[in-house]
Structure 1
Amino acid sequence: MKRLLPIFLVLMSFAIQAAARERVKAGDEVFLEKHLNLIRGKSIGIITNQSGELQDGRHIVDVLAHVPGVKLVALFAPEHGIRGKASAGEDISSGIDKQTGVPVYSLYGKTKKPTPQMLKGIDILIYDIQDVGTRFYTFISTLDYCLEAAAENHIKFIVLDKPDMLRADLVDGPMLVDSLRSFIGIQPIPSVYGMTPGELATMMNDDGMLKGGVKADLTVIRMENYRRNMWYDETGLKWIVPSPNLPDMNAVEVYPGNVLLEATNVSEGRGTEHPFEIIGAPYIDSEKLISLLDKQKLSGVTFQPADFTPRALPAAGEPKYLGELCHGVKVVVTGRNSLKPVEMGVTLVWAIRKLYPQEFKFIPSYFDRLAGTSSMRSMLEDGKTPLEIFASWRKDNKRFEILRKKYLLYR
């Protein structure tokens, strides 16, 4: 037995080293290890938030602020702020970063695109933000505007690539139509577009998708050991909450579909410990809703009865039905690789409206902007079936996948 122990320890050591080699290295790690030469002797600005935290606990801002020969000029804050503390939709204020003393410019308020004055003295902009992989998650709109500003002001742009929270081989939901472009839908892409931030930036930049067809001097620092069929919790990277109402992977997996309920008078679960996982309203009968949903035979998901009372939690602002008892369902993902989250969300909206045509209400303009098209709401109002609604976006998605393929950086 004693002779076997050293062998066991050696094998364990090899296993640990192999696991370390296989863990995904995000673009910020690769950049610090191999590509600091790109910014030596330069003045930089950084667009980031709490997801700029490295695997060793340091933040990319704090590290780059102390690299010899590099001058950190400014930070740029997206929705939720540099440290990710603000609620969804809450305006972000400009100010000074306490850790570095560097100016922080808000890109989520009256100003969403860096101005020439904000960019004064900057040679290179660095983008380091974790994304979920959905069109209505506003970080990709910030990416779009910052790329555009970099192109217009002749500033180099570096994306430190990160994995999506969703797997990056999933494409689901309707394409955005031009007339509904907004900050929750900046480009004509599907609801779930299956591209990392670096891939999406490359497509927007190289395919002439930026306003006026401008093109930035773009460099993407690729990840290592990443495969596009990975969910975030399969990468080996530590969990950093992407935004206050997506506290875990359970919420992330159902968010692309259940976010549609934000634009209705059904609670999407804000003000509870399980936002987007539980949904409901005072007028819903859980058992009736589950019975109708089960008949749709959705893949990878089941539904359980749920009663909840939304509260004024820090991340929720003032949620719908504050202090009122709501009845609905908890969405339980049983097979995430087969789940089509947008199809699931559309089915939920369809089922609630079918059961409660008098009580259920859309917020029409908001729903259309989230959906990216007015046709989804029109089809729901016209009594079309979920399958008919899903079919309405399939051809567009096939065309998008052909375009997208040219810009994919990972297998």
Structure 2
Amino acid sequence: MSTDVPRFDRRRLLGAAAAGAAAAPLLAGPADATAARTAAAPAPLGRGRAVTTGADRAADDGWSTLAGVRVGVITNPTGVLRNLRNIVDEMHESGEVEIAGVFGPEHGFRGTAQAGGSEGTFIDERTGLTVYDAYGADVAKMTEMFTTADVETVVFDIQDVGSRFYTYIWTMWTAMQAAVATDKRFVVLDRPNPVGGTARGPMMTAAYTSGVGAREIVQQHGMSVGELARFFDGEFLEEHAGGRLTHLDVVEVSGWRRKTLYADTGLDFVMPSPNMPTSDTALAYPGTCMFEGTNLSEGRGTTKPFELIGAPFVDHRWAARLEEADLPGVTFREAYFNPSVNKFAGEVCGGVQVTIQDRDRFDPVRTGVEMLVAAKALYPEFAWRQDSWDTARPFWIDKLTGSTRMRTQIDDGASGDDVEAAWRDELATFDATRRKYLIYR
């Protein structure tokens, strides 16, 4: 199979100029990042700036990039246009796109399933289309589904939240491998990274890869899904799929820059999953999701998941100690809550509410580390979650952080500074590697 870089359509959209930026190429391929950065006219920074998603740009162009082929769409409730209608519903009603099948990730295509669940394979009542269950599918299963549906082009359109342990990017990774196996074109309708373009945290190691971190990237990857697709194609597919994609196209976001957080895009935030209600939840998540790997509640079953953290044995001392740390951009309020589901359901938990005061200065991974260090030091009851189904790698925190290192450092009494210093070199190496795959300035 040829791995030559394909020729890409250079049509420009009139609507991009109205969005406050010169029209960039509709499709970006592996060699297009520099040209795209040069072609894009500067847009004013600031709140409320106009950002247009890849899906809206494709729709504004009459879905022409998907014309004449049978399309398999990987999406969920976040795959919406500016009118907040799902792209599958819009494509289907337009008559411009032949949809061969829809592929639902974790939580499902229509978003009805909780964490770790999916909707199964079913016929969608609204469209009559077959929705295939892609959550947890391996490459062989994904390949089988693409073949059964007779897909010619695979389209990915899901709002990621910028953290390695959010599973949608790994559904994309599996689909990319299946696309190599079946020689399918792969198209990403790109969306902004809601936590911006800064990479943070420790690297995943091969020994600890799983469904919450299938390949070696850092904890907060700092890329859009389109950029990640380019990274996966350039860094991993040759080794793990036997070749690269023959056609990888990214329909770019217009008007977005790397430092722009979701609150400043002017876009409506559609919940990517049941416990990701706001863009501030997404900002905290790369750090506070590490509490999934402990016996503290990460706030599931409350109205502030990943912002309320605690347990029945936690008291006022945790908030006081964290406030003394004077971490940038964040404050910690002593808080008490009673989760309705998940850990400690129906029990009163003491803990903290993480309040982001300055989004630009806040470092979620460092914040999460300081919270873990303090909780371990203060409470003898603190423990790391162990999973009986993986006796070789029983600690969930190791899968979240990428190795045993953070857990053993904290157990040995390391400071937050010590923990952060341990990943500094690998983060710098990753940051340098990813630069050639970046699209946005």
Normalising by structure 2, report the TM-score: 0.84
Q: Residue 213 of structure 2 aligns with which residue?
A: 185
- Correspondence list, 1:24-35, <5 A: 24-34=51-61
2-side partners of 1:47 and 1:125: how far apart?
Answer: 7
Q: Residue 383 of structure 1 aligns with which residue?
A: 413
Q: 1:77 aligns with which of 104, 114, 134?
A: 104
Q: Do the aligned partners of residues 358 and 65 (structure 1) sit closer, same or farther apart at CA in structure 2, a change above 3 Å counting?
A: closer
Q: Residue 369 of structure 2 aligns with which residue?
A: 346
In 2, are the aligned partners of 1:305 and 1:328 still within 8 Å (CA)?
yes
Q: 1:50 aligns with which of 48, 64, 77?
A: 77
Q: Residue 14 of structure 1 aligns with which residue?
A: none
Q: Residue 230 of structure 2 aligns with which residue?
A: 202
1-side partners of 2:202 and 2:193: how far apart?
Answer: 19
1:105 equivalent to 2:132? Answer yes
1:325 equivalent to 2:352? Answer no
Letter in 1 for 2:188: V
Give the deviation of 1:213 after TM superposition. Answer: 4.1
- Percent identity among equivalent residues? 37
Q: Residue 431 of structure 2 aligns with which residue?
A: 401
Give the deviation of 1:177 after TM superposition. Answer: 0.3
2-side partners of 1:85 and 1:279: how far apart?
Answer: 25
1-side partners of 2:285 and 2:267: how far apart?
Answer: 21
Q: After superposition, what is the alpha-carbon deviation per residue over 1:13-48, rounded to whole angstroms, capped at 9, x for unaligned?
A: xxxx97777511100011122373332221111000
In terms of mean alpha carbon deviation, does 290-299 or 53-62 score higher?
290-299
Q: Do the aligned partners of residues 142 and 361 (structure 1) sit closer, same or farther apart at CA in structure 2, a change above 3 Å counting?
A: closer
2-side partners of 1:275 and 1:404: how far apart?
Answer: 30
2-side partners of 1:133 and 1:175: how far apart?
Answer: 14
2-side partners of 1:133 and 1:42: how far apart?
Answer: 31
- Moved >4 Å (runs of 4+): 17-22, 109-113
- Correspondence list, 1:8-407, <5 A: 22-34=49-61, 36-68=63-95, 70-109=97-136, 113-120=141-148, 121-168=150-197, 170-209=198-237, 211-216=240-245, 217-286=247-316, 288-312=317-341, 319-363=342-386, 364-407=394-437
1-side partners of 2:324 and 2:97: how far apart?
Answer: 60
Q: After superposition, what is the alpha-carbon deviation per residue over 1:112-171, rounded to whole angstroms, capped at 9, x for unaligned?
A: 751334434211111111000110000000010001101110111100000112112x11
Q: After superposition, what is the alpha-carbon deviation per residue over 1:276-303, rounded to whole angstroms, capped at 9, x for unaligned?
A: 11111111112x1122212322111111
2-side partners of 1:69 and 1:329: how far apart?
Answer: 51
In 1, are the aligned partners of 2:269 and 2:279 still within 8 Å (CA)?
no
Give the deviation of 1:68 after TM superposition. Answer: 4.1
In structure 1, stretches of 5+ residues that fail to align are 1-16, 313-318
Give the deviation of 1:95 after TM superposition. Answer: 0.7
SS in 2 for 1:50: coil
SS in 2 for 1:52: coil
Q: Do the aligned partners of residues 197 and 356 (structure 1) sit closer, same or farther apart at CA in structure 2, a change above 3 Å counting?
A: same
In terms of mean alpha carbon deviation, does 141-150 or 39-48 score higher?
39-48
In 2, are the aligned partners of 1:352 and 1:360 still within 8 Å (CA)?
no
Q: Do the aligned partners of residues 257 and 117 (structure 1) sit closer, same or farther apart at CA in structure 2, a change above 3 Å counting?
A: closer
Letter in 2 for 1:144: W
2-side partners of 1:294 and 1:308: how far apart?
Answer: 20
In 2, are the aligned partners of 1:91 and 1:109 still within 8 Å (CA)?
no
1-side partners of 2:413 and 2:114: how far apart?
Answer: 35
Letter in 2 for 1:300: G
Letter in 1 for 2:92: A
Letter in 2 for 1:150: A
Q: Do the aligned partners of residues 374 and 246 (structure 1) sit closer, same or farther apart at CA in structure 2, a change above 3 Å counting?
A: same
Q: Residue 28 of structure 2 aligns with which residue?
A: none
In 1, are the aligned partners of 2:199 and 2:220 still within 8 Å (CA)?
yes
Tell me the number of residue pairs that the alignment of Structure 1 and Structure 2 aligns. 387
